[in-house]
Structure formats: C-alpha cells, structure tokens
Amino acid sequence: MDEGTRGLETLGNEIVVLRGELDVLLAELDRRRHEALDLRLQLRRHGRGAALTGVAFLTTAAGVVGLGLWRRRRQDRLGAQAGRLRRAVSRMIAQPERVAAEPTIVGKIAAAAGSAAAASLVRKLLERGVERYLARPRSAVEAPRPQVDASEVERIRKAA
C-alpha cells in the first residue's frame, strides 16, 4: 500500500469518527430540546419558581392599579385642587410674560407645514379609498351601482 492510499484511509477513518461524535452530539441536543419544550416536565422541575413569578407579577399589577387609584383620589380632593390653583397663580405672578406667549415665526411655519402635510395625506387616502370602492367587483346580492368613468373621478379630484 502506498502513502496516498494510507492517507485516504486515515482521512476516511477520521471522517467516520467525527460523524459518530456528531451523531452523539445531535442526539443529546435533540433530547435537551424535547426536555426544554416539555411544559409538564418544566413545571414539575420549576413549579415553585413559576408560581412565585406569577404571584409577583399579579402583585405588581395590582399595586400599580392601586397606586393609580390612590393618586387619582388624592388629586380630586378640594385641598389638592386649591394647592394646584395656588401654584398656577404664583407662576403667573412670577412670570406674566409666559401666560399668553405668542408662538415664534418658526413655530407658526412648522405648524402650517404640519397642517398642510396632514391635509394632503388625508386627501390622498380618501382618493385611494374612493378609487378602490368604485373599482371593487360587485356581488350578485348587492344592488347595481351607477358606473363612473375615469373622467368623472378626475373631475371630482380637481374639485377637491
């Protein structure tokens, strides 16, 4: 046997060994996957921790709701409202220029641009909705609609 054949035989043996090790590793991974996804097994193993986590979650949620209710009741009392009014009046006295402040030119421009963009978006969405409504197929139960051609739709667009 020459060296080339021995080298191939050695390489083949290494491949067989590596495949065997890989098979063992894959079998172990598969077993662990089955265990990890077995809910009953996980509850048996970690039932106490899961129960404590659930109780902690419910307690936290109840505490947040309770705190919100308590704060709301406290804010609705007459004394709290009077305190807020007193602070507002003292702020007005301390800084009267901020009471009726006019928006800056940049603010006015930004507001106008935002309003125009929103109007354009709403108009475009309405146009698409009307086009889809007019183009949808009629069912046999639905009453026949009057046909509107493309020039009529274009006229409606221009009028808007």
CA pair distance 43, 61, nearest whole angstrom: 23
Domain boundaries, the chain: 55-101, 102-136+147-160
Per-residue model confidence (pLDDT) at position 76: 85
The pLDDT, as a whole number, for residue 144 is: 56
The CA distance from 118 to 107, in Å, is: 16
Mean per-residue pLDDT for 49-61? 95
| The pLDDT of residue 1 is above 70 | no
**6-29 residue pLDDT tens:** 888 888 899 999 999 999 999 999
Question: 94-151: per-residue pLDDT in tens?
Answer: 988 877 778 889 989 999 999 999 999 999 999 998 888 888 776 655 555 556 677 7
Query: Can you tell me the mean pLDDT for 18-46?
Result: 93
pTM, 2 dp: 0.37
Q: How far apart are CA 22 and CA 16, in angstroms?
A: 10
Residue 98's pLDDT is what? 78
At 135 the pLDDT is 83
The model's pLDDT over 67-93, given as tens digits with 9 standing for 90+, comes to 999 998 988 888 888 999 999 999 889
CB of 29 within 8 A of CB of 36?
no
What value does the CA radius of gyration of the chain take, rounded to a whole number of Å? 37
What is the spatial distance between Cα 106 and Cα 39, in angstroms, rounded to a whole number?
A: 60
